[in-house]
């Protein structure tokens, strides 16, 4: 008979570098509700925490593009900007959705160009400056426009904190 061990999962994201928090498509995982909910231990529903450390720390090549891109799937490139087809139709479609449906627009293509020219640390600092909370300076979530450090009360009453109330 096998003995079951009830190991409690680590709820805090693993510490990662700026480079590790940029997905190959250029999305900064630090803006995402799944990453932020884990960082601040905020359940999606009572008792359910999203366990996302970001694409790269989880060993994922890209949550958005990889299924439609053999080059990423086969680990031939690290970022989409390294591809001869950059920017491709898949990346443009994702960008269009984020530019129109998110709490604030996010330019995947521009992000990639800046990572290529100035590095991921520069882009991360720029995003924190542009999308930082006025109260505490932490990043504002791209999916709902809330600060997961300051707006915990508002997040707690939302049926699904991925969407605007």
Write out the DSSP string of 98-138: HHHHSSS---HHHHHHHHHHH-HHHHHHHHHHHSB-TTT-P
Q: What's the mean pLDDT in 135-151? A: 92
Contact 153, 147 (CB under 8 A): no
User: In the prediction, which pLDDT does 5 show?
Assistant: 42
> Residues near 12 by Cβ (< 8 Å), separated by ≥ 6?
38, 39, 41
Residue of 67 and 37 predicted with greater confidence: 37
Cα(148)–Cα(143) distance, rounded to whole angstroms? 12
What is the per-residue pLDDT across 7-16, written as a single tens digit (0 to 9) for each? Answer: 444 555 556 7
Cα three-residue angle 57-159-103, rounded to 5 degrees: 60
The residue whose two tokens read 């995982």 is 29
Q: What is the mean pLDDT of the chain?
A: 80
């Amino acid at each position: 008979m096998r003995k079951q061990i009830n190991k409690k999962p680590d709820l805090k994201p693993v510490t990662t570098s700026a480079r590790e928090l940029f997905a190959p498509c250029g999305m900064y995982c630090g803006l995402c509700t799944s990453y932020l909910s884990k960082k601040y231990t905020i359940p999606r529903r009572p008792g359910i925490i999203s366990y996302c450390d970001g694409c790269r720390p989880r060993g994922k090549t890209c949550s958005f593009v990889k299924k439609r891109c053999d080059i990423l799937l086969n680990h031939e490139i690290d970022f989409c900007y390294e591809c001869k087809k950059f920017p491709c139709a898949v990346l443009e479609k994702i960008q269009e959705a984020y530019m129109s449906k998110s709490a604030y627009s996010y330019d995947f293509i521009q992000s990639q160009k800046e990572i290529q020219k100035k590095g991921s640390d520069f882009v991360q600092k720029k995003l924190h400056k542009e999308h930082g909370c006025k109260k505490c300076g932490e990043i504002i979530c791209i999916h709902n426009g809330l600060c997961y450090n300051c707006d915990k009360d508002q997040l707690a009453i939302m049926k699904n904190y991925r969407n605007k109330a």
